[in-house]
């Protein structure tokens, strides 16, 4: 029972995360890539 409950909770959280944070996560990762890329360029 515990495994089933945990899995369903995890799935619910993942679904929520995909809907709510999906686009935000993409933006953040894009910003992070740009930021790290700029840092690497500045170091050279």
Instruction: Give 1-44 pLDDT, tens digit per residue.
Output: 566 777 787 777 777 666 666 677 788 888 888 888 877 777 65
Burial 15-40 (b: 16+ CB within 10 A, else e): eeeeeeeeeeeeeeeeeeeeeeeeee
Element (H, E) at 36: helix 2-43
What is the reported pLDDT for 2? 63
CA 11, distance to chain mean position in Å, is 15
pLDDT for residue 28: 86
């Amino acid at each position: 029972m515990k495994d089933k409950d945990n899995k369903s909770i995890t799935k619910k959280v993942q679904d929520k995360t995909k809907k709510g944070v999906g686009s935000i996560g993409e933006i953040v990762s894009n910003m992070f890539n740009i930021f790290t890329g700029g840092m690497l360029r500045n170091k050279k």
